[in-house]
Structure 1
Amino acid sequence: MEPYSRKKRKAGVQDEDPVLLWFRRLKRLAALGLSLLVIGTVAGALFLLYLRSDALPVSSVTLTPQIYDAQGELIDAYQGGQKRQPVALKDISPYLVKATIAIEDSRFYEHFGIDPKGLARAVVTDIKTLSMEQGASTITQQLARNLYLSHERTWSRKMKEAVYALQLETQLSKDQILEQYLNQIYYGHSAYGIQAASRMFFDKDAKDLDLAESSLLAGVPKGPRYYSPYLDMNNAKDRQRLILDAMVRHNDITKEEADRAYEEKLTIVPQQPTPPAEAPYFRDYIRSVVTEKLNISEALYDSGGLKIYTTLDLRAQKIAEEAIGKQLKDAPELQAALVSLDPRNGAIKAMVGGRSYGANQFNRAFATTRQPGSSFKPIVYLTALKNHFTPLQKYKDDPTEFSYEDGKKTYKPNNFDNKYTHEWLDMRRAISTSNNIYAVHTILDVGTDKVIDTARQLGVTSRLEPLPSLALGSFPVSPYEMASAFGTFANLGVRTEPNAILRIEDNAGKILYRSKPKQEKVIDPAQAYVMTNLMESVFEEGGTGFRVSDLMKRPVAGKTGTTNTDAWMVGYTPELSTAVWVGYDKDRVISSAESHKAAPIFAEYTEGALEAIPPKQFTVPEGVVTVYIDPESGKLANEACPHSQLQAFVQGTEPTEYCSGGSGTGAQDKGRENKSWWDDLKRWWND
C-alpha cells in the first residue's frame, strides 16, 4: 500500500509547510489550555463560593463554660478535667505568635489554607517512603483537624482536612484563624490553649510572655510528651533553640536576641495537681439555672464555650467555707449550709451546700427538709404588725394549752428547757429570748392563714400548713428561702428575686442572657424597720445571739432557731442577708454545743465578708417613731421609770402616756444611766 504522502504527490498535492503545521498544533493546544484554564477558574471560583456559603460542621472540640465571679475573676476553669481559658489574639504575646508561625507555618499569611510547596514536598517524601509520615499541615489545616476531624493518618482524612481548611479561609480572616488555633492546641497536662498553658507553666497571662518563654511554649504542641518542660527540659530547650533559629531566619528577631533568650533562666512553676473547682455547690447551681430556668441546652452549656458572669464574691465564698470548716472541725459528721445575698439587688454572694463537695454533692442550701425553728418567728411577728399589733403587745409566759379550730383541737408547746418566767412579755423580749408561748399566742390571735400569706410574700415557697406549731417553725424550709425572706426586712420591705447570673455570652461574645431581677414592695417600710429594730435585740444582752455579739462590729439584726435536729442563724446587715443551717443529714439529734455553732459561723462570715465596708446603720424610713419606753408598763419613760429601753414604732402606734403620769421632762436623760454605748449610738443616730 502506498504511503499517504506519495498518494498526495501523485494527485498533485504539495506537502504542507512543517512550520505552519506545528504552529497550528500549538494554537490548538493553547486554545485547549485556555479553555481548561477558564473552566478551571470558573469551577474553582464556584467551589470557593460554595465553601464560603456552606456552613462548617459542628466543632468536635469541647469548649467548657467559663464561670466568673462578680469581679470578673475566673471561678471554674477545670470542668471535665480540662483547662481552657480562651483569649483574644490581642491578649497573646506577639513573641508567642511569631514563634508559633515561624515553627509551624512560616507562609501562613501567604497561602490560602494549603501551602503548595509544603504539600509537594510532603507528597514526594510519602511516595518515596511509601508512608504518610509527612503531614505538611498548615496552621489552618491543623485547626480544621482539631475542630472537625480525628487524627487518623488516611488519605480520606487528609482530603477532608484540605477542604475544611479552604472553607475556614473563605469564612474567617487570618487573624481569626490564628486566634482559634492558639486557643485550641494542646500543650499537655490537660491544658488547651495558650492562656491555660501560660498560667500552668509560668503563672502569668499569655500577653505577658517574653521571648524566652514564648519560644519554649511554642515548641510544646509538637509533642507534649517529649517537649514539655515538666517531662524533659533538655528536649524542651533543644526545641526552643530550633524555634529561635527559625525566628531569626524569618527576620522576626536578631541573632543576638535569640542567643539571649536561649540563655535566659526560666522559672517554671512546679507542676500542681488539678485543684478542685472553687465554689462547687454554686457551680452546680449555675448549671441548673442555665439549663432548667433559662432553657439553654445542656449541649451548649457543656461544649459551647459560654462565658457566665455571676454575682458570687469569691472572697466572701472563701470566708464562708473557712468559717464552716473552723466551727465544724471537731464534729466530722456534722453538716452545714450557708446562703448569703445582697438584699438590695438579690445578688447571691456566697453559697455553701455542705462541708465537703468531694464527699457529697447534695446542696443543702436548697434542702427543704429542715425545720427552721424559732428563726421563723419574725414572719409571725411581721404579720402581727401588719394587723395592728405593736411591739408592746403582751402575753404571759406560763405553760399554756391552746385550743384551735373552734376548740376541737388543742396544742401545748414548751419553752426551751421547759423554763418559764411567769411574767408578761412584750414582743421585743419575746424575740430576744425566743419565747415559744408568746409566739403561739400571736399566731392564733393574728391567724395562721395570714402568716402563711406573709411567708409567701417574702419568698417562702415550701409547704406550710395553718397550724399553731407553724409559729415555732415546724414546717421545713430551705436556707435559700430564709436568706431571701430576711433580705426583704433589710431592704425595707422590697423583695428582690434572688439571682446568681449577671449575664451569659456565647463563644463569639453575643449576649444570650442579661439579668433583670424582679423587685416588688411586699411590706410597708415602717413595719420592716420595726421588725429590724426588734431583731437587733437578739444580739443584745439577754438575747439568744448575745454570745457572738463580741464578734460583730456593726449593726446587725437576726434570729436564732433550734430544733432537736437543726440549728439556725438567719440575720442581716444593710448589705448582706445570710442564713446558716447546722445539723446532721439523717435527722440525728444535735447536742447543745452543736446547736451553738450556727451563730459563730454567721458572725465570722458576716464580719469577714464586710471587713472592707464601714459599719452602717439601718436606714430609718418615713413613718417610724423611736422613743424610750418603760418595758414594764409599756408607757413612755420618764424620771419615775429609769429602766427604759429604746423602741421603734410605726408612727401612730407609739404610746402617748408616761409611765407615772409625769410631764416626761428629763425622761431621756434619766434613762441613759442604764444604757449601753450601743443604745447611746443608736439614739444619737436617730436624733
Structure 2
Amino acid sequence: MSDKPNLMEDTWSGTETADPIVHYDRARRKRALLLKLALYFFTVTFLSGFLFYLYIRFSPLPDSDLATHSRIVAADGSLVADLLNNGQNRIKVGINEIPADVQNGTIAIEDAQFYQHSGLNLRGLARAIYVDIKSGEIVEGGSSITQQLAKVLYLTHDRTFTRKIPELLLTLKLETRYTKQEILEQYLNVVYYGHGANGIGTAAKIYFNKNVSELTLAESAMLVGIPRGPSIYSPFVDMNKAKERQWQVLEAMVRHGYITQEQANDAYRQKIVLAEKKDIQSGMAPYFTRYATWSAINLHGVPEDELYSSGMILHTTIDLNMQKAAEAAIQKFLPAAPGLQASLIAIDPKTGHIKAMVGGRDFNQSPFNRVTAKRQPGSAFKPFVYLAALEAGATPSKMVKSEPTTFTYEKDQMYTVKNFNDQYAHDYIGMREAIKKSDNIYAVATALEVTPQRVVETAKRFGIASELKPYPSLALGVFPVSPMELARAYAALANGGTLLEPTAIQQITNAYGREIYGRDLDAQKAADPQNVFILTDMMKSIFDQGGTAARIAPTVANRVVAGKTGTTDTDAWMAGFSPNLVTVVWVGYDKDQFLNSTESYSAAQIWGDFMKNALENTPASDFARPEGLLELNIDPTTGMLASKNCPQVQREFFRIGTEPYQECTEHPSSGSSNSKKDTGESGVKKFWKWFRGDAN
C-alpha cells in the first residue's frame, strides 16, 4: 500500500462526496430557494401594503366624539347641562375666512413641517424637543396637527400606550382623505381655546368680540398660543402669561419665515383690548354646573380641553328637586334690595354629596359663587367653642353669668363683651340656654377657659381651613370662613363626628360609559360621637320658644333639626341640619353694606322654606344616640339634678362619669336636708355614684 496521502480524503471527510458537480447543484438549489423566499416576502409585503392602503383610504372614519356632547347629569341621571359649547354657539368658519396669521402662527408653533409630512412629523418632533429643552419649557408641539385633529375628533382621552395605535391609523386616514388645507380648517374649527370656545371663530368672538377675519397679527398670535394651556395662557386669566405665550408664537413665526422681526416686535407692543367677559351658562343650576366643571379640572384631574370636547359625562351629586327648592326659597324670601345677595349649599352628611347649590341671586347678572366666598360667620361658629369645652370635660350644666363682662387674658389684655341688643339674663345660665339665646358672654368665657388655641384645633379637625387666630374674639366668629367650609363642618356634626369632603361629582365616564377619572374620598373621625350628640341635642333648642330661630320653627315643625344662627352687622347666617341633610344659608352684600333686621331674618326664612320642601318626601328621623350617655333632668337655673319641686326642668345628656349628682338646693324636695345622703336620687343615679366611689 502506498504511503502517499489521499488529498481528497483530507479535504472531504466522512461520507461526503468530492464530486464538484453535486456541490454546484446544491448551491444552485440554495440560491433558487432564497430567490423564492425573497419573491414571496416582497409579494406578501406588497399585498399587505396595498391592502393597508386600501384600508386607510376607503375604510370609514368613526363617528366623531364631537357629535356626543360632554354633559353634566344629576344624581338620578337626568341632564343638567350640555358642556359642548358651555353656553356658547360653535362658530364654524371656512379656511378662506381665517387670516393667514392664524394659519401660519398655528403651523409655526404646533407643526412647522405640516405641509411636508404625511401625518407623522418625526423631524418636527425632534425639533420641538430641541426647542423645548433650549427654552426650558414646552414651546413647540411634538404631535402633528393631523394627530391632534384625530385625537380631538375620534379618540377618548385615556393616557395609555395602546391608544397610540388607533391614533396613528386615524392620522393616516385623515391624510389620505383630505387636503392639507381641509385638515387645517377642521383643526382650527375644533381646537379648544378656553372659556368654552371650541374653534377659532368662537374664540375671536369671546376674547375680542370680532369676526375671525378681523383679527390683527397681535390678536392672532395671542389666540394661537392658548390651546397649549387654556387655563394658563388665557388673557382673561393672566395677561402676563398670555403675553409671554404670544411672544413665543411671534418668535416661531419669525423663525419659520412667516413674518419679519420688525412685524413681531410691533405686534408684541400693540395694546390688547379684550371683550367684556361673559359668563352665560346654559342649563339648570348654573352655579353648581360651574363648580362641578371646576371640580372636574382641579380635583379630578380632567384637562380642560377634554372636558368640553370629548363627549365625557360628569355624573354629579345634585338633586334637581332640592335645587329647585333652593332657588325658589331665595326667590321667595330674599328682599328685593339692590345688591343684596344670598347663597345656599345643601350636603348629605353621610356621603358628602352636594345636593343643592345657589351662589347668588342671578347667575347671569353675577356669576361669582358666594358659596366659596369667605365672610364672618358670627355666632354660627360658636358650636365649635362648645364642642371644645365638652371635650375638655365641661357638661351642659356648666353655669356662667350672663351680664356685660370685661375679660382679662394674657395677664394684662382686656376684652369687653356685650350681647346683641344688650339683652342679658343677668343670672347664671347653662350651655343649652347660651346656645339657644346665642349668649356672647358665655361663649367667650368658655373659649378662654378651654383656651382659644384649643378652639382653633377643634375647628380645624372639622374642616375649617381658613385662617383662625387664638384670640378671645374667635368665639364670636370674627374670622371669615366660606359657606362651603361651614357646611362641611356642620355635616360632620350631623354625621356623628365623622368628617367627609364635600363632593359634586360621583363619577366621570367617557362617551362609551367607562370610568376615566375618579377621586378617593376618605372619612376622618373629627370628634367623639358622644360629645357631638350632646352638642347636637343642645343645638335643637334654637327652634324652641325664645330661641334665635323660633320664628321658623313652625316651618320645620315635623322635623328633628338642629342648628345655629349667626349675625354680624354685614352678614346673616343660618346653618342647620337634620340627620340626613345639612344646609347653610348666607345673606349679605358683596361690599359689606350693613343689613337691616328684615334682611338679616331672611337667611333663616330661606333655610326653613328650603328644608321643609327638600325633605318633603324623606321620612322623619332623629339623630342616632351613641352608647355611654345618661339622660337626666336638671334644674336649668342651677345646673343641679332637678327635684320634684323645681319649677323648671330640662332634660340633658351626660357622658357617664360627668353627670351631676347633687339635687337642686334652690328647690329641695319636701323634708330634704340637701345632703348627699338624702337627695331624692333614683336607684340608677345612686348606682352610678357607688360605681364611681361617691356613695357617701
TM-score range, shorter chain: 0.5 to 0.7
Out of 351, 372, 381, the residue aligned to residue 345 of structure 1 is 351
Match of 1:568 in 2: 573
Q: Is the 8 A contact 2:428 2:638 kept in 1?
A: no
Q: CA deviation at 1:296?
A: 1.3
The answer as to 2:640 corresponding to 1:638 is: no
Out of 299, 311, 320, the residue aligned to residue 326 of structure 2 is 320
Match of 1:587 in 2: 592
Gaps of 5+ in 1: 1-36, 85-142, 149-159, 169-183, 185-273, 669-687
Distance (whole Å) between structure 1 residues aligned to residue 358 and residue 631 of structure 2: 38
Letter in 2 for 1:587: D
Distance (whole Å) between structure 2 residues aligned to residue 291 and residue 508 of structure 1: 20
Letter in 2 for 1:349: K
Match of 2:499 in 1: 495
Q: Is the 8 A contact 1:346 1:517 kept in 2?
A: no
Q: Is the 8 A contact 2:662 2:679 kept in 1?
A: no
Match of 1:628 in 2: 633
Q: CA deviation at 1:526?
A: 0.4
Report the secondary structure of 2:357's partner residue.
strand
Q: Deviations over 1:427-466 (max 9, x none)?
A: 1101100011111101111101100000100000011111
Letter in 1 for 2:359: G
The answer as to 2:451 corresponding to 1:435 is: no
Distance (whole Å) between structure 2 residues aligned to residue 396 and residue 386 of structure 1: 22
Q: CA deviation at 1:406?
A: 2.1
Match of 2:484 in 1: 480
Task: Sort the Cα spacing of 1:651 and 1:161 in 2 relative to 1 into closer, same or farther, 3 A.
Answer: closer
Distance (whole Å) between structure 2 residues aligned to residue 575 and residue 38 of structure 1: 69
Letter in 1 for 2:345: V
Q: CA deviation at 1:288?
A: 1.2
Q: Is the 8 A contact 1:637 1:667 kept in 2?
A: no
Report the secondary structure of 1:596's partner residue.
helix
Letter in 1 for 2:292: I
Letter in 2 for 1:294: H
Distance (whole Å) between structure 1 residues aligned to residue 88 and residue 617 of structure 2: 35
Letter in 2 for 1:485: A
Match of 2:30 in 1: none
The answer as to 2:566 corresponding to 1:543 is: no
Distance (whole Å) between structure 1 residues aligned to residue 578 and residue 418 of structure 2: 31
Q: CA deviation at 1:543?
A: 0.5
Q: Is the 8 A contact 1:351 1:365 kept in 2?
A: yes
Q: Deviations over 1:593-617 (max 9, x none)?
A: 1111111111111111110012111
Task: Sort the Cα spacing of 1:333 and 1:42 in 2 relative to 1 into closer, same or farther, 3 A.
Answer: closer
Distance (whole Å) between structure 1 residues aligned to residue 63 and residue 414 of structure 2: 67
Structure 1 residue runs of 4 or more that deviate by more than 6 Å after TM superposition: 37-40, 55-58, 165-168, 663-668
Letter in 2 for 1:371: Q
Distance (whole Å) between structure 2 residues aligned to residue 656 and residue 167 of structure 1: 90
Q: CA deviation at 1:514?
A: 3.4
Q: Is the 8 A contact 1:345 1:517 kept in 2?
A: no
Q: Is the 8 A contact 1:340 1:576 kept in 2?
A: yes
Out of 391, 396, 413, the residue aligned to residue 391 of structure 1 is 396
Q: Is the 8 A contact 2:80 2:285 kept in 1?
A: yes
Match of 1:650 in 2: 655
Match of 2:405 in 1: 400
The answer as to 2:62 corresponding to 1:47 is: no
Q: Deviations over 1:570-628 (max 9, x none)?
A: 00000011111000111000001111111111111111111001211111111222111
Out of 448, 459, 462, the residue aligned to residue 466 of structure 2 is 462
Q: CA deviation at 1:40?
A: 8.4
Q: CA deviation at 1:360?
A: 0.6
Q: Is the 8 A contact 2:65 2:310 kept in 1?
A: no
Q: CA deviation at 1:642?
A: 3.3
Figure out how many residues of one structure are paired with residues of the other and give that number. Answer: 457
Letter in 2 for 1:595: S
Distance (whole Å) between structure 1 residues aligned to residue 522 and residue 45 of structure 2: 64
Q: CA deviation at 1:359?
A: 0.3
Q: Is the 8 A contact 2:395 2:658 kept in 1?
A: yes
Distance (whole Å) between structure 1 residues aligned to residue 414 and residue 680 of structure 2: 49
Q: Deviations over 1:32-87 (max 9, x none)?
A: xxxxx99986553131466799x989969475421111111111026434799xxx
Report the secondary structure of 1:488's partner residue.
helix
The answer as to 2:345 corresponding to 1:335 is: no
Task: Sort the Cα spacing of 1:621 and 1:83 in 2 relative to 1 into closer, same or farther, 3 A.
Answer: farther
Task: Sort the Cα spacing of 1:288 and 1:162 in 2 relative to 1 into closer, same or farther, 3 A.
Answer: closer
Task: Sort the Cα spacing of 1:81 and 1:352 in 2 relative to 1 into closer, same or farther, 3 A.
Answer: closer
The answer as to 2:602 corresponding to 1:597 is: yes
Report the secondary structure of 2:356's partner residue.
strand
Q: Is the 8 A contact 1:639 1:667 kept in 2?
A: no
Distance (whole Å) between structure 1 residues aligned to residue 339 and residue 399 of structure 2: 42
Task: Sort the Cα spacing of 1:384 and 1:81 in 2 relative to 1 into closer, same or farther, 3 A.
Answer: closer
Report the secondary structure of 2:580's partner residue.
coil
Report the secondary structure of 1:635's partner residue.
coil
Out of 401, 424, 429, the residue aligned to residue 425 of structure 1 is 429
Q: CA RMSD in A?
A: 3.4
1:176-191 equivalences under 5 Å are none
Report the secondary structure of 2:308's partner residue.
helix
The answer as to 2:334 corresponding to 1:363 is: no
Task: Sort the Cα spacing of 1:163 and 1:438 in 2 relative to 1 into closer, same or farther, 3 A.
Answer: closer
Distance (whole Å) between structure 1 residues aligned to residue 587 and residue 411 of structure 2: 38
Q: CA deviation at 1:289?
A: 1.1
Q: CA deviation at 1:639?
A: 1.2
TM-score (norm: length of structure 2): 0.61
Match of 1:449 in 2: 453
Letter in 2 for 1:393: K
Match of 2:381 in 1: 376
Q: CA deviation at 1:321?
A: 0.7
Match of 2:518 in 1: 514
Distance (whole Å) between structure 1 residues aligned to residue 58 and residue 348 of structure 2: 49
Out of 291, 300, 319, the residue aligned to residue 285 of structure 1 is 291
Distance (whole Å) between structure 2 residues aligned to residue 161 and residue 397 of structure 1: 78
Task: Sort the Cα spacing of 1:312 and 1:60 in 2 relative to 1 into closer, same or farther, 3 A.
Answer: closer
Q: CA deviation at 1:507?
A: 2.1
Task: Sort the Cα spacing of 1:447 and 1:665 in 2 relative to 1 into closer, same or farther, 3 A.
Answer: closer
Distance (whole Å) between structure 2 residues aligned to residue 437 and residue 448 of structure 1: 14
Distance (whole Å) between structure 1 residues aligned to residue 48 and residue 352 of structure 2: 61
Q: CA deviation at 1:330?
A: 3.0
Distance (whole Å) between structure 1 residues aligned to residue 285 and residue 623 of structure 2: 30
Q: CA deviation at 1:640?
A: 1.5
Letter in 1 for 2:477: G
Q: CA deviation at 1:477?
A: 0.4
Distance (whole Å) between structure 2 residues aligned to residue 425 and residue 607 of structure 1: 32
Q: CA deviation at 1:512?
A: 1.4
Distance (whole Å) between structure 1 residues aligned to residue 550 and residue 606 of structure 2: 14
Letter in 1 for 2:291: Y
Distance (whole Å) between structure 2 residues aligned to residue 64 and residue 578 of structure 1: 32
Q: CA deviation at 1:516?
A: 3.4
Distance (whole Å) between structure 2 residues aligned to residue 439 and residue 39 of structure 1: 86
Distance (whole Å) between structure 2 residues aligned to residue 420 and residue 641 of structure 1: 23
Letter in 2 for 1:359: Q
Q: Deviations over 1:458-480 (max 9, x none)?
A: 00001111111110000000000
Distance (whole Å) between structure 2 residues aligned to residue 537 and residue 474 of structure 1: 24
The answer as to 2:308 corresponding to 1:309 is: no
Match of 1:16 in 2: none
Distance (whole Å) between structure 1 residues aligned to residue 177 and residue 303 of structure 2: 28
Match of 1:525 in 2: 529
Distance (whole Å) between structure 2 residues aligned to residue 329 and residue 453 of structure 1: 37
- Among the aligned pairs, what percent are the same residue? 43
